């Protein structure tokens, strides 16, 4: 079974055919998807999708570009939603210095606040990090490294759409116990650094994701993405790892079930 650990089926891009697409996933071998909250407006949509479809699960959190909306009321909404058995993680949370829509100190404060909520609830986090390698790693080490409040958690989280150096990847996985989310970018010809990271990282630390409707893999780069495109990502990972697509599928399914405590 293939599990897509990062989707945005709540996005407006799916308004015209959302139900038909979701109901077609089983025929494509997709057994479960995790819809990830990112904006204040997305939170109730994610919850509704997770409650409507047995194979859809959710994560609740605010993207770093949106943390200006992290009022006490919104934080309470996220916290309350975590009681729902279909909500499996806090995310996507983190830092984004590329767009820099929110001040860095505001982003870091919101990242810590949401991560501490996840630690309190014993849930993993889904981290978005763009052009913020050092600050992200510093905060993750602070919260999940030796002496941190999340150090003892068996399943800590995933670096969504991993894009940093191999050295950092080794710290996140081998030392801190995080997973790396691998999506369509790994199929791009210019993704040399990510290909090297995937080749170096043991399968036990990799998760499949699409980030749909974004980041469609080759040969659909630039078009609307969906979980149906995961086989292209699986094939590329298998080629980089020198194993079979079936081995990638089985390992990433086991990883997703372990991290998110999927039934």
Residues 6+ apart with CB under 8 A from 240: 186, 195, 198, 199
Q: What percent of the chain has pLDDT over 90?
A: 99
Predicted pLDDT at 100: 86
List domains and CATH numbers for the chain: 2-260 (3.20.20.140)
Predicted pLDDT at 79: 98
Calpha distance 148→49 (Å, rounded): 34
Neighbours of 194 (CB within 10 A): 24
Calpha distance 30→27 (Å, rounded): 7
What's the pLDDT tens digit per position in 27-48? Answer: 999 999 999 999 999 999 999 9
Give 263's pLDDT tier (boundaries 50, 70, 90). Answer: confident
What angle is formed at CA 227 by the lines to CA 226 and CA 229, rounded to 5 degrees? Answer: 80
What's the pLDDT tens digit per position in 207-232? Answer: 999 999 999 999 999 999 999 999 99
Calpha distance 236→251 (Å, rounded): 15
Calpha distance 223→214 (Å, rounded): 8
Does residue 195 have a pLDDT over 90?
yes
Mean pLDDT of 126-155: 98
Predicted pLDDT at 129: 98
Nearest to 259 by CA among 175, 157, 162: 157
Predicted pLDDT at 174: 97
Q: Radius of gyration over alpha carbons of the chain, in Å?
A: 17
Mean pLDDT of 159-178: 98
What's the pLDDT tens digit per position in 151-168? Answer: 999 999 999 999 999 999
Calpha distance 78→154 (Å, rounded): 22
Calpha distance 175→205 (Å, rounded): 12
Any idea what DSSP says for residue 179? E
Calpha distance 5→91 (Å, rounded): 11
CB-based burial, 232-256: b 16+ in 10 Å, e otherwise: bbbebbbbbbeeeeeebbebbbebb
- Say if strands 2-7 and 30-36 run parallel, antiparallel, or are unpaired: parallel
What's the pLDDT tens digit per position in 74-132? Answer: 999 999 999 999 999 999 999 999 998 999 999 999 999 999 999 999 999 999 999 99
Predicted pLDDT at 133: 98
């Amino acid at each position: 079974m293939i599990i897509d650990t990062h989707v945005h089926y709540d996005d407006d891009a799916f308004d015209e055919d959302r139900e038909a697409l979701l109901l077609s996933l089983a025929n494509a071998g997709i057994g479960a998807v995790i819809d990830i909250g990112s904006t204040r407006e997305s939170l109730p949509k994610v919850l509704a999708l997770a409650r409507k479809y047995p194979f859809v699960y959710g994560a609740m959190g605010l993207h770093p570009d949106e943390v200006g909306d992290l009022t006490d009321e919104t934080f309470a909404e996220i916290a309350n939603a975590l009681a729902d058995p279909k909500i499996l993680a806090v995310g996507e949370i983190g830092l984004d210095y590329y767009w820099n829509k929110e001040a860095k100190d505001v982003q870091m404060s919101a990242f810590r606040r949401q991560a501490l909520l996840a630690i309190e609830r014993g849930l993993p986090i889904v981290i978005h990090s763009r052009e913020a390698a050092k600050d992200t790693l510093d905060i993750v080490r602070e919260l999940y490294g030796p002496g941190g409040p999340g150090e003892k958690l068996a399943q800590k989280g995933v670096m969504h759409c991993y894009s940093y150096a191999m050295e950092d990847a080794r710290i996140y996985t081998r030392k801190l116990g995080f997973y790396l989310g691998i999506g369509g970018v790994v199929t791009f010809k210019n993704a040399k650094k990510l290909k090297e990271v995937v080749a170096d990282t043991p399968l036990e630390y990799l998760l499949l994701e699409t980030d749909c409707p974004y980041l469609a893999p080759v040969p659909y780069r630039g078009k609307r993405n969906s979980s149906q495109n995961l086989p292209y990502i699986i094939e590329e990972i298998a080629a980089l790892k020198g194993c079979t697509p079936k081995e990638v599928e089985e390992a990433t399914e086991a990883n997703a079930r372990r991290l998110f405590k999927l039934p």
